Amino acid sequence: MKAITASTIAACVFTLTACGSPRVLHDDAAKLVMIESGMTITQITQIMGMPVASETRPDGFKCLEYTLLKKSVNFTSAMPQPHYVMMYQGKAIASGQNGCNVEMMSANFHTATFGKYARFVGQ
């Protein structure tokens, strides 16, 4: 019985340590509705706060990643989810639920693969 108790305690400590990481959780994903095309990084950080991660491509794209909880009257997410704001030449062009690792995939920037950001590359 003591072995089960010790392993249970160890598992609980591990879970609490892993879940208690010092990542800042922003209020909720509803803030993304306030993001409009053409906003600057300064305007976005005033609404969203500082991103938990960002990635930059040499062709003028920057992805800002946030960790957000989804909340509504009838639903609250137990686990935070990654959300992104995609910037092009310093202006917001898209936002949604994904991590920057997904949004910054090469296929999203090429016309041959009908990439969703390809239209900006040729301008």
Q: In the 8-state DSSP scheme, what is residue 7? A: H
Stretch 57-63: mean pLDDT: 94
Indicate if the pLDDT at residue 99 is higher than 80.
yes
- Summarize the chain as % helix, strand, coil (round to 5): 40, 25, 35
Q: Taking phi first (over 0 means left), then psi (-120 to 50 degrees means alpha), and beta for anything else, what does residue 14 get? A: alpha
For the chain, give the percent of residues with pLDDT over 90: 51
- Mean pLDDT for the stretch of residues 76-96: 89
Please count the helices (runs of H) and the strands (runs of E) in the chain.
Answer: 4, 4
**Which residue ranges form the domains of the chain, and what is each CATH number?**
23-121 (3.30.1450.10)
**pLDDT for the residue 73:** 56
Name which of 34-43, 66-75, 89-98, 105-114 the model is least confident about: 66-75
Residue 69 has pLDDT above 90, yes or no: no
